[in-house]
């Protein structure tokens, strides 16, 4: 399939209300952790942010540059999603029971289709259309076991000049024949994909053993070898999502001290390890997470959909562990990081934990960037970083506009976006400075020279 790549963004200035984080705020009084500029400007050049500040301060640097006026909307860093399944775009909202049944009945049959390069390429285009339309500009995703799926995933990301992380899954048992590799073929395919894609443009690679149940000890050894040989790459897998999953894992690996111990024994745990779900953890596992710097990933809509359990964000944070947050498409029920925050807020409420809207928006921008070790590149609007920007409209629907009539603070506006917002609240999205949403509604005027 021949595709035209998106052009590099021209120099431009975005005007609007700017919210940017430099640390994690606990609430609105933590003003040193964030900057809010009522009439702000971002000067973008060659796909990066050249300057951020008040419009009055930045506009002198923009003689003759196009101004895109997004007022009165909010400009934030593009959202970052840290756990997705690219091949599951057509099984989202499939009625199911719990995790293992859902995988066998829906997910595995669907993923067999990604052996086709044509199908993989078409789904990649549609996958990226969805995430961008919901304001997500960077993500970490599992591809299928087929090398073709990973090629399509990275090729489409390159075409759009997106900062994306992903990997071909490794699995050599407990799945249909059409979804099995071998320890050697999985190792070889992964090595080839890393050489081709990691660090090329904005692409980064994640070594991806799907989870302990679908990999033999031999394949886990190869995965550990890949992590040792490529410390620059991420490692992503699943951990302690469901009680039946945990019990099956212990049957398959009876000598491991616990579920996390499987990954620990094969050398998979570093500060670049992303562990989806991490709900039902034992005390020893929590200690290992704290010691290794591995990152649990909270997937609220999926945890509720499959009835998996409640993620203990506060407890893990209290032990010094950095938690990421994600949609987990397709067991997750929305591509929207706003709706992910909505359900995350409720899960924490059930445990007596609070999620202030400022902390929530930090989480899906700079917070997830910190979890990935990329806070100096994405998740921020600081000068010199990559110009991924989302423009949010808190009056996007009648219900939101009605509620906004009574909103008096920035925190209230953010909470309205968090609880009532979805892709309709995403007015525009910029990837490397390039507008992504068709027929932009913003007003465009040139700055006088």
Report, as an integer, the average pLDDT of 248-254: 97
Across the range 51-59, mean pLDDT stands at 97
CA-only gyration radius of the chain, Å = 21
Task: For residues 296 and 321, give the distance between their C-alpha atoms in angstroms, rounded to a whole number.
Answer: 8
Q: Are 139 and 325 in contact (CB under 8 A)?
A: no
pLDDT-based confidence at residue 4 (cuts at 50, 70, 90): very low
- For the chain, how far is it from start to end, CA to CA, in angstroms? 44
User: Would you list the DSSP string of 165-180?
Assistant: EEEPEE--SSS-GGG-
Q: How far apart are CA 423 and CA 428, in angstroms?
A: 10
Count Cβ atoms below 10 Å from residue 46 Cβ, excluding itself: 12
Band of pLDDT at residue 444, cut at 50, 70 and 90: very low
Find the angle CA(297)-CA(182)-CA(121) to the nearest 5 degrees: 65
Does 446 score more than 50 pLDDT? no
**pTM of the full structure:** 0.95
Cβ atoms of 243 and 293 within 8 Å: the answer is no
433, exposed or middle or buried, with CB in 10 Å at 0-12, 13-18, 19+? buried
How many angstroms separate the CA atoms of 299 and 306, rounded?
A: 11
> Sign of the CA dihedral 373, 378, 383, 384?
positive
The torsion angles phi and psi of 122, rounded to 5 degrees, stand at -65, -45
CA max distance for the chain: 72
The chain-wide mean pLDDT, for the chain, equals: 93
Structure token digits, residue 104: 């066998």
**For the residues 365-390, what does the mean pLDDT come to?**
98
Whose tokens are 């979805």? That residue is: 422
Task: Please state which of the ranges 150-154, 161-165, 327-331 shows the lowest mean pLDDT.
Answer: 327-331
- Whether residue 448 has pLDDT greater than 50: no
Q: According to the model, what pLDDT value does residue 111 have?
A: 87
3-class SS at 96? coil
> Can you tell me the distance from the alpha carbon of 346 to that of 359, in angstroms, rounded to the nearest whole number?
15
93-116 mean pLDDT: 77
Structure tokens that stand for 256 in this block: 């491991």
pLDDT: which is higher, 64 or 350: 350
* pLDDT for residue 1: 37
Cis amide leading into 385 (omega within 30)? no
Which has the higher per-residue pLDDT, 109 or 191?
191
Return the pLDDT at 441: 38
For residue range 9-29, what is the model confidence (pLDDT) as tens digits? 479 999 999 999 999 998 899
Q: Give the tokens for residue 139.
A: 């993500």
Tell me the average pLDDT across 240-248.
Answer: 95
CA–CA separation, 165 vs 324, rounded Å? 14
Q: Give percent helix, percent strand, percent coil of the chain, each to the nearest 5.
A: 40, 25, 35
pLDDT tens for each residue of 395-406? 999 999 999 999
Q: Are 223 and 266 in contact (CB under 8 A)?
A: yes
- The pLDDT score that the predictor gives to residue 124 is 97
Q: Please tell me the predicted confidence (pLDDT) of residue 93.
A: 74
């Amino acid at each position: 399939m021949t595709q035209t790549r998106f052009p590099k963004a021209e120099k431009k200035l975005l005007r609007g209300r700017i919210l940017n984080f430099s640390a994690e705020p606990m609430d609105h009084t933590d003003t040193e952790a964030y900057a809010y500029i009522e009439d702000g400007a971002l000067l973008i050049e060659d796909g990066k942010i050249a300057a951020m500040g008040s419009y009055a301060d930045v506009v002198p640097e923009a003689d003759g540059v196009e101004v895109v006026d997004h007022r009165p909307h909010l400009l934030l860093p593009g959202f970052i999603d840290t756990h997705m399944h690219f091949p599951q775009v057509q099984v989202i909202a499939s009625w199911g029971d719990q995790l293992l049944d859902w995988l066998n009945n829906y997910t595995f049959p669907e993923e067999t289709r990604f052996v086709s390069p044509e199908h993989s390429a078409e789904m990649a285009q549609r996958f990226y259309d969805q995430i961008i339309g919901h304001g997500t500009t960077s993500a970490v995703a599992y591809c299928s076991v087929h090398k073709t799926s990973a090629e399509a995933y990275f090729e489409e990301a390159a075409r759009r000049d997106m900062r994306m992380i992903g990997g071909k899954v490794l699995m050599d048992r407990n799945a249909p024949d059409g979804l099995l590799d071998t320890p050697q073929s999985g190792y070889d395919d992964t090595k080839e994909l890393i050489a081709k894609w990691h660090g090329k443009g904005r692409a980064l690679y994640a070594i991806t053993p799907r989870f302990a149940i679908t990999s033999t000890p031999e394949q886990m050894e190869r995965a550990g070898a890949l992590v040792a040989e490529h410390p620059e790459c991420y490692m992503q897998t699943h951990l302690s999502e469901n009680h039946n999953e945990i019990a099956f894992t212990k049957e398959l690996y009876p000598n491991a001290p616990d579920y996390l111990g499987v990954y620990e024994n094969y050398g998979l745990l570093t500060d670049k390890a992303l562990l989806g779900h991490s709900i039902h953890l034992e005390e020893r596992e929590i200690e290992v997470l704290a010691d290794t710097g591995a990152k649990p990933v909270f997937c609220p809509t999926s945890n509720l959909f499959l009835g998996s359990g409640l993620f203990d964000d506060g407890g893990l944070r209290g032990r010094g562990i950095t938690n990421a947050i994600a949609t987990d498409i397709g067991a997750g029920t929305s591509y929207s990081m706003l709706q992910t925050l909505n359900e995350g807020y409720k899960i924490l409420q059930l445990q007596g934990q609070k999620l202030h809207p400022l902390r929530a928006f930090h989480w899906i921008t700079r917070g997830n960037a910190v979890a990935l070790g990329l806070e100096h590149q994405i998740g921020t609007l600081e000068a010199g970083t990559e110009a991924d920007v989302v423009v949010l409209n808190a009056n996007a629907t009648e219900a939101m506009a009605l509620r906004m009539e009574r909103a008096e603070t920035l925190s209230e506006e953010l909470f309205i976006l968090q609880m009532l917002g979805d892709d309709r609240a995403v007015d525009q999205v910029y990837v490397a400075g390039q507008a992504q949403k068709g027929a932009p509604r913003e007003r465009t005027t040139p700055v006088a020279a």
